[in-house]
Amino acid sequence: MIMKEIAEFFNKLLDYIYKKKCYFCGKSNESVKMCSKCYEELSFNDVKENRYINGVKVYSAGLYDKNLQKMIRGIKYHKQKELAFYMAKFMWNYFSEIIKEFDLPKNYQVVPVPLHKARQKKRGYNHMELVAEEFCRLSGFSPNYELITRIKNTKPQYKLSYSEKQTNLQNAFKVDKTKLLDLPVLIIDDICTSGATFGSMIEEMKSQGVLDITCFAVSSP
């Protein structure tokens, strides 16, 4: 804990000395990774259910365009870990409205889509775990990184057709029910396109008796 606080202090000191530039517009007026102007340019979806997958409600915070697209790519592929806070803020701004509109539970165990250990080792982190941590700080929800693991090192989904995605994700996940908290499950991911990833996780959870599930994506193309 002490080392973390020291690191945060020096990061803030460096930010003060070398003004941080916005990752999106390149300006350093606010010395932050995402300035308020660029954040305000993010577009929220309407407050509604996006779709159902395997009988589970799926919500999506925004459209995959402009700054949101750059945000997802930055944190996922370019080690822009500080963007996790802004992604979580965007998600919570939307999901808090969903809770009010549909009278959803006021607390969840947040389950980020897991990476296979080989891919996580190569990347160095799971970007959705970083987002989940920030999302839980904002919402007060409980993170749960151990309930479900990815046991199959699947191919990247964006390269595959719908049927290939289904095959790719078959038996890809495993639930450890001993890690289940006494809270409804909120699975979070960055993008929901075909819904195959959510679908595979839902199928595995339901097979293990985990039934109170909601899915939430940052975006839908």
Q: CB under 8 Å to 85, separation ≥6 — which residues?
A: 33, 134
What sign results for the dihedral spanned by CA atoms 95, 96, 102, 106?
positive
**What distance in Å separates the CA atoms of residue 122 and residue 44, rounded to the nearest whole number?**
32
CB distance 182 to 142 below 8 Å: no
Pairing of strands 173-175, 148-150: antiparallel
CB atoms < 10 A from the CB of 170, how many? Answer: 13
**What distance in Å separates the CA atoms of residue 108 and residue 220, rounded to the nearest whole number?**
22
**What distance in Å separates the CA atoms of residue 77 and residue 51, rounded to the nearest whole number?**
27
How many residues in the chain? Answer: 221
What does residue 27 show for φ and ψ, rounded to 5 degrees? -90, 155
**What distance in Å separates the CA atoms of residue 48 and residue 59, rounded to the nearest whole number?**
7
- In order of their start, the domains of the chain are 1-41 (no CATH), 42-220 (3.40.50)
Full pLDDT tens readout for the chain, 221 residues: 576 667 666 665 665 555 789 999 999 889 899 999 999 999 999 999 999 999 999 999 999 989 999 999 999 999 999 999 999 999 999 999 999 999 999 999 999 999 999 999 999 999 999 999 999 999 999 999 999 999 998 777 767 777 877 787 888 999 999 999 999 999 999 999 999 999 999 999 999 999 999 999 999 87
